[in-house]
A and B are shown apart, each in its own frame.
Chain A
Amino acid sequence: MRLPVRELAEKYQEHVFRAAFSVCRNPAEAEDIVQDTFLKYMESDCQFESEEHIKAWLLRTAINRSKDVLKAFWHRKRGSFEEYMESVPFQDPESRRLVETVLSLPKAYRIPIYLFYYEDYPVKEIADILNLSENTVKSRLYRGRKMMQDILKENWTDDE
C-alpha cells in the first residue's frame, strides 16, 4: 500500500522531526531531514504492508539521514541547539531536563531510548529500524537507562 504524502506529513512530520533532532541535535538540519525523508518517500516505489510499516520506514530513513549529516561537515553554529532548546515552551523543568538528558547521551544509546520510550516500539522493531540485533538493542537500552537513572535519579523510574 501507499498513502498520499500530504496525509503522511500531517500525521508523521513532527515524529520524523523529533527522531531526526534526537540524532543530529540541530533543528535546522532536522527540518532539512524531514524534507529529504518525505522526498525519498515520493521518489521510492516501495509498497508497504500497513501504515505502521510506512511510519517505521520514515523513521528509519530519517535516522539514517541524520547519521549521514553527522558524518558530514557541520556548517551551522553549534549554538543553535541551545538556542532551540531555550525556545521550547516545556510544560515544566522536569520535561526540559528529560529531553536534555536524552540528547546528552551518546548517539548509540539515545536513538533506541527515544524509539522505545517515545515511539513505543518493542525491541524487535527497534532492531529492525536500526538494523541491529535484538541483543544489541537490549544492551543499549539497558546502558541508556542506567545513564538516565544516574543523571535524573528520583525523576527516573526503574522500569526494566
Chain B
Amino acid sequence: MTNKDKFKRAFSELHTSDAFVLDTEEKGMIRKMKFRKTIIAVCTALAVCAGGAACYAADVGGIQRTVQVWFHGDQTTATMTVDEDNITHYSVKDKNGNEIISGGGVAEDGRGGYRPLTESEMNEYLSEPSTDIMGGKLYLFYKNQKMDLTGKFDKDGLCYVTLNDRDKKIYVTVAKNGGLASRDDKYAQKNELPEEWFR
C-alpha cells in the first residue's frame, strides 16, 4: 500500500458530526457581525482587568502566571499557561478547585508559525460581552457589569442592551437561548440572526 493509499484510508474516516447540517441559505450580514453561540457564551464570560482596574500578572513558576480577571462581574484569578505548541491557555477554578471556564489562543508570528497570546491580546478577545445562565436566569456580562435579562425580552424573544464603555457604545442583541450579537453601529435585528436561536 502506498503512502497515498494509507492517507486516503485514514483521512476518509474524518467526518462532520451527525448533528451538522450545512445551511445553504443566504445569511447576509451575519458574517459581518460577532456572534456568540450559547455554548461559547458560557466559555467567554471572562474579561481581563477591565474597567480601569489595576492589572497585574505574577509569576508562579516557568511560563505559568496568574492574572486578575473579571468573571461574572466579579474579579477573580485566572491561571495562564503556555504549552509546548506555544498556545496560551487560561483557566478559572471555583473555590473547590473545579474548572469553571477555560480556553486559549495563538497568534501568527509572521514567519509561518505561531506564538503565545499576550495579556493585552487576551484582553482584546475576552473583554467582549457574553451571556450565561445562573440560577435559571439569563445574565449579560460585560467587564464589571452584570445584568439580569429576565422579563426583558420582546415578543420576538430578543432583548436589546446598549453597553457604555468610556467613549464607545456597544449595541447588544441577546436571544432567549443566550445567543448574542454585538455591533458598534446599531442593534442586530432578528432577520440577521441564526434561525436556530429561535427553535
Which residues of A are interface residues toward B (Cβ below 8 A)?
A: 5-6, 9, 13-14, 17-18, 21, 27, 30-31, 34-36, 38-40, 42-43, 67, 70-78, 88-91, 94-96, 98-99, 102, 106-108, 114, 117-118, 120, 155-157, 159
Cα separation A103 to B87 with both chains bound (whole Å) = 15
CB<8 Å pairs between A and B, sample of 5? A38-B24, A39-B27, A90-B10, A95-B6, A118-B4
State whether A31 touches B13 (Cβ < 8 A). no
Interface status of B107 (Cβ within 8 A of chain A): yes
From B14-22, B56-64, B140-148, B164-172, the one touching the partner chain is B14-22
Number of interface residues of B (CB under 8 A): 41
CB distance from B102 to the nearest CB of A (A): 6
Contacts of A90 in B (CB 8 A): 10, 13
B55 in contact (CB, < 8 A): no
Q: Once bound together, how far apart are the Cα atoms of A145 and B174, in whole Å? A: 49
> Taking the complex as formed, is B161 at the interface, i.e. its CB lies under 8 A from any CB of chain A?
no
**Is A117 within 8 A of B112, CB to CB?**
no
A39-B27, A70-B106 as given contacts; A75 in contact with B43, CB under 8 Å: yes
Closest chain A residue to B24, Cβ basis: A5
Closest to A100 in B: B10
With A78-B104, A108-B112: A17-B16 Cβ-Cβ less than 8 Å: yes
**A70 & B108 in contact (Cβ 8 Å cutoff):** yes
What is the chain B residue whose CB lies nearest that of A17? Answer: B16
Our count of residue pairs bridging A and B at CB distance below 8 angstroms stands at: 118
CB distance from B136 to the nearest CB of A (A): 24
Check B14 against A120 for contact (C-beta < 8 Å). Answer: no
Cβ A106 vs Cβ B113 within 8 A: yes
Q: Nearest chain-A residue to B46 (Cβ)?
A: A75
Q: How far is the CA of A37 from the CA of B84 in the complex (A)?
A: 30
Q: How far is the CA of A72 from the CA of B2 in the complex (A)?
A: 37
Taking a contact as CB atoms under 8 Å apart, the answer to whether B15 and A14 are in contact is yes
Give B77-94 interface residues, CB cut-off 8 Å to A: 87, 89
Are B7 and A91 interface neighbours, CB within 8 A?
no
Given A17-B16, A42-B24, A89-B13: A73 touches B126 (CB 8 Å cut-off): yes
Cα distance A14–B8 in the bound complex, in angstroms: 13
Q: Give the complex CA separation of A128 and B46 in angstroms.
A: 40
B73 at the interface (CB under 8 A from A): no
List A contacts of B53 (CB < 8 A): none
Question: What 0/1 readout, one digit per residue, does chain B (108-124) give for beta carbons within 8 Å of chain A?
Answer: 10001110010001100
A-B complex: 3 closest residue pairs judged by Cβ atoms = A73-B125, A95-B10, A117-B7
Contact A42:B26 (CB < 8 A) given known A72-B105, A77-B103, A120-B4 = yes
Nearest-CB distance from A16 to chain B (Å)? 9
A157 to B2, CA, bound (A): 7
Which of the residues B6, B11, B40 comes within 8 Å of A76, measured between beta carbons? B40
Q: How far is the CA of A88 from the CA of B121 in the complex (A)?
A: 34
Closest to A108 in B: B112
B44 at the interface (CB under 8 A from A): yes
- Cα(A5)–Cα(B25), bound, Å: 9
B156 within 8 A of A: no
Asked whether any CB of chain A lies closer than 8 Å to the CB of B31, the reply is: yes
